[in-house]
Structure 1
């Protein structure tokens, strides 16, 4: 196992810069997820750690050694790709053993390593099959097994679940997390799926446009997002945002919403954020029209509108509402977030003391 240090890393493709001086550290044995929208630089950063992309500036270190100029095969890392990258003409056992064979590992040791990985991943009965005879989840396990047999210091995962259906993604998330808990190997995982990030990571690195927006535990980022981007990216359904102003110790907007604010806050243009599960329905309160009713069984998701303000409310159970109905809205003051509308940065908690 090893610590990974990323220090002021930059990546250029010709005149285009796609990673802008990124710095972070992944501790020994930690499971860190790089998350962000497509094109944010997360996969490029992962490939620089793996040695598959040249580092244009800054340093990547593994276990204290700068590896900028070290070949991928000499970095003692193992990478699991989005498309599995299995050899179709080889059996499961041959695919898992291939890197060991290239490294000249003795046959008996190679068989033992493949057997141990197969038992860990539940592949014992599939060792003689070819990739074309496997399901997507089984192929993903084989790709993981090929990485495990190398006994690397660092595991790298590049969106490994994006080709799987929704049910299988949930299953594989749990299996990858359980695997990490058993092996305790430093793991860096790339995804654009914030649910994967929230459920799997020890810490999350949120990226946008080649920079890091915030680093922290899943609940730290959920409860205290640094800015509007992080607040809107993490959480499903996404956080509601209401534009308005602080005036006379209250948050006000042009559509009739009024919420108590900390008295010490100066008058300013702000955006209030509120999670959908903290938007409540009431007989009184700010009136909203129901636009959409989406029952899911245990919960009901409502899309609501008042003037130009549109909100999503996630309520427990089932509600007897139809589109066009009028409802009152209340907000849990402990769950309100306040952001500077000009900079997008988080301000002190909204709830009054």
Structure 2
């Protein structure tokens, strides 16, 4: 195991700067997920950590050793790519043992390490097959096995589940998390899927435009997003956002949207008249006999829950309820909002108030 320190890392391509002073500390044995939309810099950062991209400025340390000028093969890392990158003419066992063969390790050692990795990944019965005879999930496990046999200080995963179907992605998420619990090795994992990030990570690094927006445990980011971007990115479906201002009603503060909708507020230091962005997650909206009257636009039943898209004046609000309700498009129902679940952000800076 090893700690990883990314200290004020900058990346430029000619005159264009794409990484802007990134700082991330990763502890021994931690599972850290870099997450963000396409183009945010997460894969570039991972490739710099692997030594596949040069660092323009700043330092990256693995196990307290600065590795800026260390070649990829000497960094004691192993990388699993989005594409499985398996040799089609080699068997599963030969693919898994190839890094050790290239390192000129004894055959007995190769066989022992391949056998151990195959047992961990439930591949022992497939060692004599070729990649074309495997399913997508099995191929991804072979790629992981090839990394495991090297016994690296750090595992790097670059969107390894993107090519799998939805059901298999869930299975592989569990397998990778279980693998981490067994090996207790430091893992840095890149994905654009915030569900993968939430379910797998010990710590999430949310990135946008080559900058780190927030770092923290999954539930901390969910409960206390530092800005509108993080609040909208973490959580599925995305948080509802309404623009408006703080008003006073009978001596109590309320939120008034731009279309005139009045909504309850938690205790807040924001002053009356302040322009704010009001955030509420769909799963924190209930349906009751009293509350905010809304006109139902679309109802999407999924079995365990029902998603409701509704309009209140000019505002569209998305709600997720556990009950099976009979609301139909065009009907009117009432949304119930607990002020304790409301998030407020400054309208100009979009930072959490």
Q: TM-score range by the shorter chain?
A: over 0.9
Taking the aligned partners of 2:80 and 2:17, their CA distance within structure 1 comes to 26
Secondary structure of 2:325's aligned partner? coil
- Select the residue among 250, 256, 261 that pairs with 1:256: 261
Secondary structure of 1:277's aligned partner? helix
Aligned to 2:350: 344
Taking the aligned partners of 1:171 and 1:53, their CA distance within structure 2 comes to 32
**Where do 5+ consecutive residues of structure 2 fail to align?**
none
Taking the aligned partners of 1:258 and 1:189, their CA distance within structure 2 comes to 39
**Where do 5+ consecutive residues of structure 1 fail to align?**
348-353
Taking the aligned partners of 2:202 and 2:124, their CA distance within structure 1 comes to 30
Aligned to 1:234: 234
Instruction: Tell whether 2:30 aligns with 1:24.
Output: no
Q: State the shift of 1:14 in Å.
A: 1.6
Aligned to 2:284: 278
Q: State the shift of 1:272 in Å.
A: 1.0
Taking the aligned partners of 2:188 and 2:123, their CA distance within structure 1 comes to 24
Instruction: Tell whether 2:319 aligns with 1:319.
Output: no
User: Which residues in structure 2 correspond to 1:59-208 (within 5 Å)?
Assistant: 59-208=59-208
TM-score (norm 2): 0.97
Mean CA deviation greater in 18-27 or 280-289: 280-289
> For residues 146 and 325 of structure 1, do their structure 2 counterparts lie closer, same or farther at Cα, with a shift above 3 Å needed?
same
Contact 1:303 1:310 in 2 (8 A): yes
TM-score (norm 1): 0.97
Mean CA deviation greater in 247-256 or 101-110: 247-256
Contact 1:255 1:306 in 2 (8 A): no
Contact 2:265 2:342 in 1 (8 A): no
Contact 1:251 1:261 in 2 (8 A): no
Q: State the shift of 1:324 in Å.
A: 0.5
- Select the residue among 290, 294, 306 that pairs with 1:288: 294
Contact 2:291 2:337 in 1 (8 A): no
Taking the aligned partners of 2:57 and 2:340, their CA distance within structure 1 comes to 43
The alignment yields a C-alpha RMSD, in angstroms, of 1.0
Q: State the shift of 1:264 in Å.
A: 4.5
Q: State the shift of 1:284 in Å.
A: 2.5
> For residues 93 and 272 of structure 1, do their structure 2 counterparts lie closer, same or farther at Cα, with a shift above 3 Å needed?
same
